[in-house]
Amino acid sequence: MTDWFSSKKNYRQIAEPDIFKSASAYGGGAFLFREISLNFTPLIMNTQTPILDIPSTIKYYLSLDKKVAQSFGMDKYDELLHPDNFAILSNEGSVKNGAPIKTDHYALILCLRGTCTKTVGPFTFQVTPQSLHIVSPRFINSFENASDDLLLYMVMFKKEFIADIFIKQSVLDPLMDLHPECPPIYSLSDHNFQKIKTLYEKIDLEYKEENPFFLQLIRLQLVELLYEVNRTFEKCSDSRTHYQLTRQYTLFMNFRDLVEEHFLSKRTVQEYADLLHVSAKHLSEVVKQETGKNALHIIHARIYLEARLLLTTSSLSVKEISDQLNFDTSSHFSRFFKKFADENPSAYKKVSTP
């Protein structure tokens, strides 16, 4: 029997659609922000915060790209080849900076050459040759300062894509649930790099040849790739002594998680210290020791990151975004934003919006 999914014609589905960036913390505590009731719903649940699917993500970056020949992966310039649950492509033709976005899918990204600075959720890290990094769903992610020679192989997929094989979900879920305390990037040995690169190339070839049952084989190859990634993670995590769960690091991680949950409704270090049952002074000292940044900067940087996301991917006006982020006035929002970006929100929106 011919599998319906063995045909790209049937499978094609078209859909429309740093937080630690170096900057001085915006002083003055919470005076810029209006008072908010404690039952405020986090913005991540707001339907006006776009979460991009795979076709929309490709389309967004295409709007930034200069068209060049693709040596790896699908032809991202052909919208008919933008499937909903899976994509394999390169970054060829991409620009040096990509504004923040949220996505509904995973991305496994292998760096073959060049460098860039990547932000995924609370982590900012340097992407270097022979490294692999991971972007999980609903984490804000962005990149900047990409070198001219940067070459990335990327596999994007939704959980549902690999769920459609005869492997228990209880086996698959841990493969995609990597350690949240560590930056999601791994340096590969020569052997592991070649092994993982070969898997990417096998998936690419399978996709391009369109032989019968090619998607089923891609699913199995993707599971194999996930096992290799997890194996690499285990080796890397053994050597990451900095991320051992000391009491101080655990406190910082808890603070980071609370900022992610409450950044719209809690704007002072004292509020987070109260939630963590420590003094504001102790919390500030721990955060400074772990990150080199003060705690208020991290709170403000999370707000700034959300502002960039909304300016880039939503249709909201600057005034509406100011209201969403609970600033007293648009002018206060502009002053806050300019402290980080060296430009006002309107100017940023003009150059960042596709």
CATH class for the region spanning 50-242: mainly beta
Element (DSSP H or E) covering residue 152: strand 151-157
Q: What is the DSSP letter of 327?
A: B
**What is the pLDDT tens value at each position of the chain, 354 positions in all?**
333 333 444 333 323 333 333 333 333 333 233 332 222 223 333 434 678 999 988 888 776 666 777 889 988 877 666 578 999 999 987 778 888 999 999 999 999 999 999 999 888 899 999 999 999 988 899 999 999 999 999 999 998 888 777 666 666 666 666 666 678 898 999 999 999 999 999 999 999 998 999 989 999 999 999 888 888 776 655 555 445 567 888 899 899 989 989 999 999 999 999 999 999 999 999 999 888 889 999 999 999 999 999 998 888 999 999 999 999 999 999 999 999 988 999 999 887 765
**Cα–Cα distance, 140 to 121 (Å, whole number):** 5
pTM exceeding the 0.75 threshold for the entire prediction: no
User: Domain-by-domain residue ranges, the chain?
Assistant: 50-242, 247-352
Element (DSSP H or E) covering residue 187: strand 185-187
Find out whether 179 and 160 touch, Cβ atoms under 8 Å. no
Do the domains spanning 50-242 and 247-352 agree at the CATH topology level? no
The residue type found at 316 is: L
The CATH classification number of 247-352 equals: 1.10.10.60
Q: In angstroms, how far apart are the furthest CA atoms of the chain?
A: 68
Sheet of 98-101, strand order: 98-101, 141-144, 116-120, 123-127
Find out whether 322 and 280 touch, Cβ atoms under 8 Å. no
